[in-house]
Amino acid sequence: MAKEGILHLSYQERRRLARGLIFVSPWLLGLLLLGAYPLISSIYYSLHRYDLMRPAVFIGLSNYTELFTTDPTFKQALVNTFCYVGIGVPVSIISAFLAATLLNTKMLGRPVFRAIFYFPAIVPATVSATVWSFLLNPQYGAINATLRAFKLPIVPFLTSPTYAMPSVISIAWVWGCGYTMVLFLATLQDVPRELYEAATVDGAGAWHKYWNVTIPMCTPVILFNLVTGLIYGFQDFTFLRLLTNGGPGNATEVFSLELFKNAFEYLRMGKACAMAWVMFIIVVILTVLLFKSSARVVYYADTN
Residue 30 near other proteins by CB under 8 A: yes
In Å, how far from its chain's centre is CA 266? 26
Per CB under 8 A, the list member of 61, 116, 285, 297 interacting with other proteins is 116
Residue 200 near other proteins by CB under 8 A: yes
Contacts with other proteins in 261-280 (CB under 8 A)? 263-264, 269, 272-273, 275-277, 279-280
Instruction: Supply the minimum distance, in Å, between the C-beta of residue 60 and other proteins.
Output: 18
Per CB under 8 A, the list member of 1, 7, 53, 295 interacting with other proteins is 1
Sequence-distant (6+) residues with CB within 8 A of 14 are: 6
Residue 140 near other proteins by CB under 8 A: yes
Residue 138 near other proteins by CB under 8 A: no
Question: What phi and psi, each to the nearest 5 degrees, are found at residue 48?
Answer: -130, 160
Which one, of 161, 175, 176, lies nearest residue 80 by Cα?
161
Residue 291 near other proteins by CB under 8 A: no
Per CB under 8 A, the list member of 65, 126, 162, 293 interacting with other proteins is 126
What radius of gyration do the chain's Cα atoms show?
Answer: 25
Beta-bridged to residue 48, according to DSSP, are 58
Contacts with other proteins in 55-84 (CB under 8 A)? none
Sequence-distant (6+) residues with CB within 8 A of 136 are: 143, 144, 157, 158, 167
Yes or no: say if 169 and 87 are a contact pair by the CB < 8 Å rule: yes
Q: Is 137 helix (H, G, I), strand (E, B) or coil?
A: coil
Per CB under 8 A, the list member of 87, 94, 145, 195 interacting with other proteins is 145
Residue 208 near other proteins by CB under 8 A: no
Cα dihedral sign for 25, 27, 29, 32? negative
Q: Which window, 59-67, 84-92, 183-191, 291-299, contacts other proteins (CB under 8 A)?
A: 183-191
Residue 28 near other proteins by CB under 8 A: yes
Instruction: Supply the minimum distance, in Å, between the C-beta of residue 43 and other proteins.
Output: 9
Instruction: Report the C-alpha gap between 7 and 2 in whole angstroms.
Output: 9
**Number of residues in contact with other proteins, rule: CB under 8 A?**
98
Residue 154 near other proteins by CB under 8 A: no
Q: Which window, 79-87, 160-168, 230-238, 290-298, contacts other proteins (CB under 8 A)?
A: 230-238
Yes or no: say if 158 and 133 are a contact pair by the CB < 8 Å rule: yes
